[in-house]
Each structure stands twice: as structure tokens, then as C-alpha cells.
Amino acid sequence: MPQSPEPIRIAVVGVGKIARDQHLPALASNDDFRLIAAASRHGTVEGVPNFGTIEALLADIGEIDAVSLCMPPKFRFDAARAALEAGKHVFMEKPPGATVSEVEELKRIAERQGVTLFASWHSRYAPAVEAARAFLQASTLTSAQIIWKEDVRRWHPDQDWIWQPGGFGVFDPGINALSIMTHIFPAMFITDASLDFPANRDAPVAAKVLFRTSSGAPVVMDLDWLQTGPQSWDIHAETDRGTMLLSGGGAKLAIDGVVVHDEPETEYPMLYKRFSDLVRSHTSDVDLAPLQHVADAFMLGKRNVVDEFR
């Protein structure tokens, strides 16, 4: 019988909301990984050695194979570079960085070091995304509308970084929509954008972004962070084969009103399966298309000043 490979010895860095909600449970249920340490300025993980910085972790524990970087994007580059330079495989939460160029640089370092760099996009692993992709690949898209409206107070309580430059504002959830759109739609580019900045913040609370696909189909994306009550994470597409609705952030697919795919989500277990496959096959996966669209929206977008956010 073939022997299963040794588990990948991994450390989690930036122990906050997403590390606790998703990364630690996903790692605990995956035999392909062994969590052997954590690094965070304040957060800790029970049962493993904890360090205040990634530099201290890398200096102390030589036998680590990989790190999972769960801090906000603006603070990820230095940590990723330190890990790559130390010869470790790197898993990065979304968005992979605060700028496109810094992630390009990480790609070059990973290649030079011969280690895996994984820029993860968790929404791409939502259960109905592949079925939507298959439907659209066999269809001609004529138009699309993306409605991504959620309550920032519910999902990002007390997170200051998200309102700062490089924090992305409403594009922090919006990039999840973009990660699905860039996976299932034909190539597209932004033609117009309008971004609403609260008078007391440096990141937008709402945005409207217009795209055109390479064949000319219009795509409209509406982002809003002040939606209370039911939350909307929907992608509507009109095609020559009918109307597609991918709802629930990619969980459920309906064609002409008939549900054809609806399963519970397992996004983070699938992300770690992907990371393990990448490490074992000595490859990287760094798709910057969603981040490039956010950069383009900031570059092309008209800036409106709206009510303060308290």
C-alpha cells in the first residue's frame, strides 16, 4: 500500500477573526497538515508555541514547512517575504496584498526560492461556482448584474484597518464577488466607477462599477456596506441559454428560476486541500485579476464624499 506523505508542518500568522473562524478549524480537520506554531502580536493559539512576530517564529522553529498569513492585506508583504526568503511555502488570505506590484514581487521571490505561493480566493470555492462556470462556458453572456450588499457592522466590528488606505473598504467583500466574476465570466475591464467615501474615512462604503466584457456585454457591480436585514451576494447573468442567478455568495445556482445546485459550503477545507496539492506538486497559484480590478476601480473611479461612518 502506498504510504501517505508526511503532514505539512504549518504555522498560522495573524491570529484574529478569520484565523479563528476558518483557518484553525480547517487545519484541525485536515490530516495533511500539522499545526505546529502561531505568530501574532496579541492573538494566541492553544496547544502550540506562540510568537509575537513571524521573524521570531522563523528564527526559533526551523522545521516549519509552510505559513498561513491571516493578517489584513496591508501588513502581509513583509511577512510573506520573510517566509519565502526562509524557504517556506506561503498561503495568503484574500486580498493577497495592498498593491498589485507587491504581489508580483512575491511571485518572483517564490519562484526564485522554489517554494509554493498560494493567493487564496475563498469565494471561488463556494459550492455552485464551478456549475455556474460550466453553464456560462457553454453560453453567450449578454449582460450581468452583481449585487453585493452587506452590513459592515455585523461582519467587521471594530476593524479600523478596513477603513484605512490599503484596507479596501467595501472592496474587501467586493473582491470576493470579483474573484468569482473573473473565474466564471469572459475577460472584462472597467469602463466607469463611482466610489462613496464617508467624510471621516479613507476607504469607500459603497461603489458602483461598470465593466464591459471583451465581446461588449455590459456588467454592472453594486457594492454597499450599509445593508441591514437580509444580506445580498448575488450574480445575475443574462445569456442566450437563459437567466442565471448565482446567489448566497456562490452557494446556490438557479437557471431560469429553477435551482440546479444548492449545497452547504466547505470553502476553507477546499482551500487547504488546494494548498496541499500545490505544495506536493511544487507549483504556485497567484491570480491577480480580482486585485487588478479593484486597483482599476480606484484609478478610474469618481470619488463622492458621503455621510460620516460612526
When asked if residue 14 is in the footprint of ligand NAP (CB under 6 A), the reply is: yes
Residues designated catalytic: 94
| 42 binds ligand NAP, rule: CB under 6 A | yes
Q: Which positions from 178 to 217 touch ligand NAP by CB under 6 A, shown as an x/- string?
A: ----------------------------------------
Q: Shortest gap between Cβ of 62 and ligand NAP (angstroms)?
A: 23
Cβ neighbours of residue 306 under 8 Å, at least 6 residues apart?
196, 197, 198, 199, 205, 206
Is position 109 an interface residue for ligand NAP (rule: CB under 6 A)?
no
Among residues 16, 218, 242, 248, the one that binds ligand NAP under rule CB under 6 A: 16
Tell me if the bond preceding 264 is cis, omega within 30° of 0: no
CA angle 104-93-71, nearest 5°? Answer: 100
Phi and psi angles of residue 307, each rounded to the nearest 5 degrees, phi first: -55, 145
Q: Please give the DSSP secondary-structure letter assigned to residue 190.
A: E
CA distance 15 to 24: 9
Give CA 224 to chain center in angstroms: 18
Q: Between residues 145 and 159, which has the closer beta carbon with respect to ligand NAP?
A: 159
Binder to ligand NAP among 10, 36, 70, 177 (CB under 6 A)? 70
The 3-state DSSP composition of the chain as helix, strand, coil percent (nearest 5) reads 35, 30, 35
Q: Does 301 bind ligand NAP (CB under 6 A)?
A: no
Q: Which stretch binds ligand NAP (CB under 6 A): 71-79, 182-190, 228-236, 249-257?
A: 71-79
Site for ligand NAP (CB under 6 A): which residue of 30, 40, 68, 179? 40
SS3 127: coil
Based on the shown chain and the rule CB under 6 A, indicate whether residue 73 belongs to the binding site for ligand NAP.
Answer: yes
Span from 8-16, 107-115, 218-226, 297-305 in contact with ligand NAP (CB under 6 A): 8-16
What ranges make up the beta strands (E) of the chain? 8-13, 33-39, 50-51, 66-69, 89-92, 117-119, 141-149, 188-198, 206-213, 218-224, 232-239, 242-247, 252-255, 258-262, 302-306
User: Which residues in 17-36 contact ligand NAP (CB under 6 A)?
Assistant: 17-18
Q: State which residue has the least CB distance to ligand NAP.
A: 16
Query: Is the dihedral angle over the CA atoms 221, 225, 13, 298 positive or is it negative?
Result: positive
Q: Single out the residue of 58, 72, 171, 188 in contact with ligand NAP (rule: CB under 6 A).
A: 72
Q: Where does residue 2 fall: left (phi above 0), alpha (psi -120 to 50 degrees), or beta otherwise?
A: beta
Should residue 167 be labelled a site residue for ligand NAP when binding is judged by CB under 6 A?
no
| Least separation in angstroms between CB 117 and ligand NAP | 16
Q: Residues in contact with ligand NAP, total (CB under 6 A)? A: 21
String marking each residue 123-162 x if it binds ligand NAP according to CB under 6 A = --------------------------------x---x-x-
Nearer to ligand NAP, 135 or 268 (CB): 268
To ligand NAP, the closest distance from the beta carbon of 178 in angstroms equals 13
- And the C-alpha cell for 229? 436585514
- Grid cell in block for residue 9: 508542518
Buried b (16+ CB within 10 A) or exposed e, 136-149: beebebeebebbbb
Residues lying near ligand NAP in the complex (CB under 6 A): 14-18, 40-43, 70-73, 75, 93-94, 122, 155, 159, 161, 172
